[in-house]
Structure formats: structure tokens, C-alpha cells
């Protein structure tokens, strides 16, 4: 088990039910937390599992507008072009520019408690002790294989190993956070399905060790 302290000025963990405007969840999602761990140390022989999320700062929002494009590239056109078609992928960013509102979190601060499972891709000489030692060394030196971010790449993450022991100063807040995005299900090769869970924060702690998860009915097929 390892605990990592992460913090930053802003964060946006976009709720999927809002199609145009970016509205953040109240706290970091488990998949975003796992993504930070993967950025610090990724290896095919391990798979990170987030056990608990400790919320250290009060939940506060900030609203601002950003310039974005209102049209996405068409995947079918890209495939047709790859196969020798004459479809153009050109997108005029000036003509397609629009302003959209983002409701993001500000002054976020978390402690992520996690462990990893060894996978079949681990080498015979790989051991849990070796992987934990490498992770702690990378945290100590501030190294990462990719720059971690809080939901959007413009919101970078500062990180280090938590050395404060079990006395983690979480906020004294208990609330039902509703259904939240958990992660993706990669068990099928033909489709990637989103998984959601019922998130509850008790005195600033979100436990992920025994949660109810489910896949939306439209994604079962």
C-alpha cells in the first residue's frame, strides 16, 4: 500500500451527462486518480487499484470561459481517408471557434491510497517490493513518465509521497455524491464500456474497496 499526496490550483473531472459545457464532479474520480499513479510509474507487470480518496480541502468551484471548437473530427472520415478515400480532415479552427463555460474545482488537495496487482506480463524477477521501491524513489525525485493532470491537461498535478502517517487532515464533510464515473471495462475486445458507482464521502473519505458498480444499460450490448 502507498499513499500519494496530490494538489493543484484547478481541476475538472467532467460529468458525462453534460454534452456541451464542462461541469466537474465534486471530487476526483477513481479513474483520474489511477491515471496519476500510471503517470508516476507505469509497468506492464502491474495494475494500480485506488482504495481510498482523502479530501483535504473544502470543495469549491470556479467558473470561466474558454475558446473551443464546436465540431469534432469525424472518425468515419478518418477511416475512409486511411483506406485511400478522398475525404478531407481539415477543420477551420477560426470558423468553428466558440466560447464554452467550464465549471471547475479550485484549490484541490487529495491523498490517494492505493495498491497494485501483479499481472501476467510481469517478469520472473519482478516483485511487489521492487515495484514499490521504484515508485517511492520516483515520488521522492518528482519523476513521472508523463505529466499528470487533474482531468484536463491545462490543470497540472503537484505530487509527492504522503509521509504524515494515518492522521490525514480530511475535511469534516459527509455527503452522497451520487453516481460517478469509476473506470472503463476492457473485458471485451469489441467494445469499451464505462463503469459507474455510487460515491459516498464520509468525513472527507471516499472508500473504493467495497462499492456498487454498474454499466449503463445502453452499453451492455
Q: pLDDT tens for residues 118-129?
A: 888 888 888 899
What CA–CA distance (Å, rounded) separates 5 from 12? Answer: 18
Distance CA 8, CA 199 (A): 22
pLDDT of residue 139: 93
Q: How confident is the model over 8-42, as pLDDT tens digits?
A: 999 999 998 887 788 999 999 999 999 999 999 99
The count of other CB atoms within 10 Å of the CB of residue 148 is 22
Joined together, the cell numbers standing for residue 66 give 474558454
Whole-number Å distance between alpha carbons of 96 and 112: 39
Convert the pLDDT of each residue in 131-177 to its tens digit.
Answer: 999 999 999 999 998 999 999 999 999 999 999 999 999 999 999 99
Measured between alpha carbons, how far is 155 from 98 in angstroms, rounded to an integer?
Answer: 21
**Residue in 114, 165, 166 with CA at minimum distance from that of residue 135:** 114
Q: Which CATH architecture has domain 2-66+101-219?
A: 2-Layer Sandwich (3.30)
In angstroms, the CA 87 to CA 184 distance is: 31
- For residue 136, give the C-alpha cell: 517511492
Predicted model pTM: 0.85
Q: Taking the domains of the chain in order of start, what are their residue ranges?
A: 2-66+101-219
Whether the Cβ atoms of residue 65 and residue 101 lie closer than 8 Å to each other:
yes
Could you give the CA distance from residue 20 to residue 69 in angstroms, rounded to a whole number?
A: 11
Amino acid at each position: 500500500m502507498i499513499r500519494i499526496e496530490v494538489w493543484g490550483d484547478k481541476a475538472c473531472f467532467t460529468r458525462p451527462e453534460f454534452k456541451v459545457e464542462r461541469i466537474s464532479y465534486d471530487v476526483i474520480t477513481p479513474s483520474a486518480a489511477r491515471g496519476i499513479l500510471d503517470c508516476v510509474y507505469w509497468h506492464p507487470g502491474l495494475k494500480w487499484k485506488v482504495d481510498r480518496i482523502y479530501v483535504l480541502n473544502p470543495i469549491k468551484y470556479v467558473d470561466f470561459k474558454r475558446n473551443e471548437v464546436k465540431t469534432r473530427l469525424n472518425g468515419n472520415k478518418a477511416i475512409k481517408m486511411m483506406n485511400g478515400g478522398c475525404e478531407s480532415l481539415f477543420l477551420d479552427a477560426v470558423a468553428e471557434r466558440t466560447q464554452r463555460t467550464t465549471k471547475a474545482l479550485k484549490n484541490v488537495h487529495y491523498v490517494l491510497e492505493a495498491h497494485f496487482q501483479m499481472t501476467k506480463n510481469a517478469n520472473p524477477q519482478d516483485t511487489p517490493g521492487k515495484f514499490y521501491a521504484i515508485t517511492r524513489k520516483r515520488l521522492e525525485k518528482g519523476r513521472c513518465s508523463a505529466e499528470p493532470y487533474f482531468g484536463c491537461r491545462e490543470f497540472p498535478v503537484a505530487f509527492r509521497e504522503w509521509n504524515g502517517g494515518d492522521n490525514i487532515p480530511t475535511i469534516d464533510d459527509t455527503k452522497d455524491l451520487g453516481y460517478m464515473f469509476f473506470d472503463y471495462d476492457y473485458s471485451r475486445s469489441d467494445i469499451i464500456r464505462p463503469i459507474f458507482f455510487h460515491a459516498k464521502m464520509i468525513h472527507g473519505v471516499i472508500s473504493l474497496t467495497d462499492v456498487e458498480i454498474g454499466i449503463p444499460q445502453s452499453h451492455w450490448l
